[in-house]
Amino acid sequence: MAAGRTVLVRGSAVQVLDVGSGPAVLLLHGSGPGTTGAGSWGATAEALAGSCRLVAPDLAGFGGTPLPPGSRGGRRTWTEQASGLVDALGLDRYVVVGHSMGAAVALSLAVARPSQVAGVVAVSAMGAPGAPLSPDLEAVWAAPPGRDGARDMLSRLLLDPALVGEQAVTARAAAMEAGEAAFEGLFPPPRQRWVDDLALAPAELAGVRAPVLLVHGAQDTVTPLATSVPALLASLPDARLHVLDRCGHAPAVEHPDAFRALLADFLGVEAPPDRRQDGRPS
């Protein structure tokens, strides 16, 4: 996997993982403390790099990308950053894949750039109008840096306790501590307002011209299926839904082979080989 690089976007430095060649895919991460583009999407990008160009930025306030002066983040900031990034990279046609918060930004980008966005894959999506703040999302945003906070957060994101091992906890705790100062100001209480900030109005969703694939875990308690997906399906003109059973908030981590096959099919490229080694169903 190639190392990340810095791209100057409207005067601000954005850390970007940029690998592979072929049709362009912009990968937007979610909102948990310690989240980065490479951490969220690195394995997916590596698997598909033979067929696509995959671009995974750290959104402002996460990883190696600082917030612009005077900004507290939010859907508008992240949408403008994504727009500036594709301009800086010279991308004129691309699919946007977003996880959780990143799904809301992906849909917002599709509204802002209808002639450029060829498709949207919204995974465990935020962005639904009227969605409530779930108790688990509240806890994720409030998770303190350190091993205890990392373990609690991962246990809410991932259904299978086996995925919340010591190596994963150690890595996430380090990322949370590294990003503590920037993340602290992104989602302070009361936190329903940040869910509302990420929500698209029905009229905005109705303006999404691109086809949308919604991918959701049946057991997601962070952005529950029942409070996220119906409003999106009701407003998006061209959407289809794939629900993964035995899956929480992170399909790309919990069922990587099934998720990559879905993504490859949507992109119209060859699916990467199944790399399961432990026999765990994908």
Residues annotated as catalytic are: 100, 220, 249
User: Residue 180 burial by CB count (10 A; 0-12/13-18/19+): exposed, middle or buried?
Assistant: middle
What is the distance between the alpha carbons of residues 224 and 50, in angstroms, rounded to a whole number? Answer: 33
What is the distance between the alpha carbons of residues 20 and 215, in angstroms, rounded to a whole number? Answer: 24
State the number of CA atoms in the 13 A half-sphere of 247 facing the CB. 25
State the number of CA atoms in the 13 A half-sphere of 10 facing the CB. 17
State the number of CA atoms in the 13 A half-sphere of 18 facing the CB. 13
User: Is there a cis peptide before residue 57, judged by omega within 30 degrees of 0?
Assistant: no
Expressed in angstroms, the distance from the first to the final Cα of the chain is 23
Say if residues 152 and 143 touch (Cβ distance below 8 Å): yes
Q: Which 3 state secondary structure label does DSSP give 151?
A: helix
Q: Which 3 state secondary structure label does DSSP give 32?
A: coil
Tokens of 196: 């509302």
Longest dimension (CA), the chain: 49
